Amino acid sequence: MHKKYFLPRLYGVDYLRTTMPEYREITIYDIARELAISPATVSRALNNHPAVKKATRKKIQDLARQLGYRSNTFASNLRKKNTHTIGVIVPRLSSYFMSTVIAGMEQVARAEGYNLIISQSSESMIKEADNVDTMFNSRVDGLLVSLSYETDTLAHFEPFFKKGIPLIFFDRIREHKQCMGIVIDNQKAAYDATKHLLDNGYRRIMHIGGNPISHVYAERVKGYKKALGDYKIPVDPKLVLTRNMSEQAGVDAAEHILKMKPRPDAVFSANDACAIYCMLTLKKAGLRIPEDIAFAGFNNDPMSKVVEPGLTTIDYPGYAMGEAAATQLINQLTGISVMQATNIIILRSELIIRGSSAKKKRKS
């Protein structure tokens, strides 16, 4: 069914009564026909080309707005072989750290004329693969990815590798000859956190870490074990827990600790959320922190400052990581830099000491 409508009288020109499908997009040919000029002139005017007189440009642009004309940027970009969009896949959008990373990416991308398409894997490799397909079919110019907790293969990124579309992993990475990685020195950071607990007199230190197939968690458990080794303390397998690092994982870890004999005297968690919920659950059960059990976390989440006592943690710059990832990707897209095999950028981190890890008091 076609809908009839009258175009308004503009610029002293009587517009013809027009019929067209209600859903049809207005094109430059419609505008050209109404103004009795060439489509090429309309196209140039809509792109502010100086070859079209200013008055004519205004007339064309005003009519385009009046008719509801929308530029088909996507089709235009495809003709230019790019879309000026960058895909971003993160494990969880609710993460404070990831929100700061995305803010850094957005700042750089906007300044360089790129838009971000953002999706989350919800820690699922299957959903991550679906997101990768969507990004590929959306013809993003490049892809920035922090891998999901479950990801144990990079096979779903193969379309990007085959097409030579730039792909950069950040935070949670896996090495690949066609990909750059942006991380902190996770092993050193974990070493520093564990050593701090050891220096404060704690000896039976539990580590709560994530899936060791992830570079991030594998490096953090290495740092934990290295610190114990430097103090001549053997690694007790019963004190190494592998969890999904969620808030519920912290609750579950606390319940596990309450059943242990002997209990650990300290916990180093591979993220703050897990550490904080573990602390809260143990406090609810009557344990004192750090008198009965000390804690150190990782990420410097805002909650680490307000929980009582404050959580000792590793701070690393999410915003700077986002800026670095977006900058490196855009540099590859514009030819400023070329990806080199096993090229990894390492950012700095810092141990933030708070009350949860105060020096252990000797029992009288």
pLDDT tens track, the chain, 364 positions? 343 333 443 443 344 334 444 456 788 888 889 899 988 898 888 888 888 899 998 999 889 888 878 766 555 555 556 789 999 999 999 888 999 999 999 999 999 999 999 999 999 999 999 999 999 999 999 999 999 999 999 999 999 999 999 999 999 998 888 889 999 999 999 999 999 999 999 999 999 999 888 889 999 999 999 999 999 999 999 999 999 899 999 999 999 999 999 999 999 999 999 999 999 999 999 999 999 999 999 999 999 999 999 999 999 989 999 999 999 999 999 887 665 545 889 999 999 999 999 998 766 4
The continuous run of DSSP H or E covering 4 comes out as strand 3-6
Domain 186-316+351-357 belongs to what topology? Rossmann fold (3.40.50)
Domains of the chain: which residue ranges?
Answer: 3-71, 83-184+318-348, 186-316+351-357
Q: How far is the C-alpha of 185 from the C-alpha of 171, rounded, in Å?
A: 10
- Please report, as a single letter, which amino acid is at residue 139: R
CATH superfamily membership of 3-71: lambda repressor-like DNA-binding domains (1.10.260.40)
Please tell me the distance from the alpha carbon of residue 318 to that of residue 89, in angstroms, as a whole number: 15
Q: What is the pTM of this model?
A: 0.76
How many residues does this entry show for the chain?
364
Q: Give φ, ψ of 60 to 5 degrees.
A: -65, -45
Confirm whether 3-71 and 83-184+318-348 share one CATH topology: no
Q: How many other β-carbons are positioned within 10 Å of the β-carbon of residue 60?
A: 24
Could you tell me the two tokens for 87?
């895909």
Q: Which burial class, exposed, middle or buried, applies to 143 when counting CB atoms under 10 A from its CB (0-12, 13-18, 19+)?
A: buried
83-184+318-348: CATH topology is Rossmann fold (3.40.50)
